[in-house]
Amino acid sequence: MERPTHSPEVVVDDEKPILIYVLYLVALVTAVPFFLGVILAYVFKSRAPAWARSHYEHQISLFWRFLLGNIVLGILFAIAMPLSFILIGIPLMAVAGIAWVYLWIWMLFRCLKGIQSARLDEDYRGNWGWRI
């Protein structure tokens, strides 16, 4: 009797990439869903179809870029705060604040664009850089 060969099951669930994007949008207000979203993206990526895998890879990239951006801007703000007493830090704080607003808007647009293409079952074809 011949044994059937089983290939790894490809799970097709259109809602999983959208769920992670929604978690990222909620994470713009509170950070906890952000970590849950990246864990889910790493878990779901291995058994996803190609179009969904591109979304998971994009979501993982979003997480690391957003985290890196927040760390760098937090350090800049922490350096600028004591320097503001001698007025040197005020422009640095302004730059950090403007960059934080840009980072927040960047994340918002990336998530909305990802949701839009995931609803159509398309690959994420957007810009992978720091532009909106």
For 54-63, the pLDDT digits (tens) are 999 999 999 9
Q: What is the H or E stretch that residue 127 is in?
A: none
DSSP-derived secondary structure for 81-104: HHHGGGTSHHHHHHHHHHHHHHHH
Q: How far apart are CA 88 and CA 80, in angstroms?
A: 8
pTM strictly above 0.85: no
For 75-123, the pLDDT digits (tens) are 999 999 888 888 888 999 999 999 999 999 999 999 999 999 999 888 8
Find out whether 117 and 21 touch, Cβ atoms under 8 Å: no
Q: How far apart are CA 62 and CA 44, in angstroms?
A: 16
Average model confidence (pLDDT) across the chain: 86
Domain regions of the chain by residue span: 15-119
Q: Please tell me the predicted confidence (pLDDT) of residue 132.
A: 58
Find out whether 109 and 132 touch, Cβ atoms under 8 Å: yes
